[in-house]
Amino acid sequence: MPLETALHERRRPLTEGELLAIPWMRLLTQDERERAATDLKIAEADPGETLCRTGRPVTYWFGVIDGLLKMSTDNAQGQTITYTGIPPGGWFGEGTALKREAYRYNIQALRKSRVAGLHVDTFHWLLDHSIAFNRFVMNQLNERLAQFIAAREIDRMNNPDVRVARSLAALFNPVLYPGVGEVLRITQQELAYLVGLSRQRVNEALNTLQAQGSIAVEYGGLRVLDLGALRTPSPMRQ
């Protein structure tokens, strides 16, 4: 059985607490919220499980309630290119849903994750009926564009410390990932997958950033102390 099918069969309605964790729900009118809440479904993805696969038609607009996902693609040589991680609060695939086209990337769970889905037909219904929802999606697209421009810059960086800093800054984006807050639950191995470096090299970079006061390494995650320093092209201080 394909993993996507198995995930689909495990879906269920959202609890009230899970609905409250969705940032765009509070922007809707009562009728719009009821329409969205009735359609929304959630499922728990296991580590390594694929939610979206390149070439498959879009059926849902997805959001992470809890966990961590990876957006990637495979090139002609069979190498995996990771675009970004998607932490709690992140909704993704609005561009694909808008055009109702096939996915051009893979979405995979790095750890056990709860992922909500809004059917693409309801997504378009909200676009047709809600100005507030349109603004939310517009902001998502604008922020996503900036994120991928920054990702291209990161790919050209030879300094691993800077790569880790900028990648962390992207995961702490308050617009795209409002569920993260000041602490991101992530392991060094998970961060290594997203950055494209070894776990040992990521550990060295985190120690450097912590010594500079940009982050604090805590049990099970990272706390951002100076987001501006992480975002600068060269946050390494002499």
Instruction: Say what the pLDDT of residue 234 is.
Output: 53
Instruction: Say what the pLDDT of residue 43 is.
Output: 95
User: Of 118, 149, 180, which residue sits at a domain end?
Assistant: 149
CA 192 – CA 44 distance, rounded (Å): 23
Residue numbers in the chain where pLDDT is lower than 70: 1-5, 150-157, 233-238
161 and 130 part of one domain: no
76 and 118 part of one domain: yes
144 and 169 part of one domain: no
7 and 113 part of one domain: yes
134 and 188 part of one domain: no
Per-residue pLDDT reduced to its tens digit, 26-38: 999 999 999 999 9
User: Which burial class, exposed, middle or buried, applies to 178 when counting CB atoms under 10 A from its CB (0-12, 13-18, 19+)?
Assistant: middle
CATH code (residue 124): 2.60.120.10
16 and 67 part of one domain: yes
205 and 88 part of one domain: no
Global pTM reads 0.85
Instruction: Say what the pLDDT of residue 215 is.
Output: 94
Question: Which of helix, strand or coil describes residue 31?
Answer: helix
The amino acid at 32: E
User: Of 106, 130, 149, which residue sits at a domain end?
Assistant: 149
Domain membership of residue 184 (yes or no) is yes
Domain membership of residue 140 (yes or no) is yes
Instruction: Say what the pLDDT of residue 79 is.
Output: 74
Pull the structure tokens for residue 198.
Answer: 């070894």
Question: Which has the closest alpha carbon to 82: 7, 191, 177, 201?
Answer: 191
69 and 164 part of one domain: no
CA 49 – CA 11 distance, rounded (Å): 14
Number of domains in the chain: 2
User: Of 119, 149, 179, which residue sits at a domain end?
Assistant: 149
CA 186 – CA 111 distance, rounded (Å): 9
Domain with 184 in it: 157-231
205 and 123 part of one domain: no
CA 192 – CA 211 distance, rounded (Å): 20
Domain membership of residue 238 (yes or no) is no
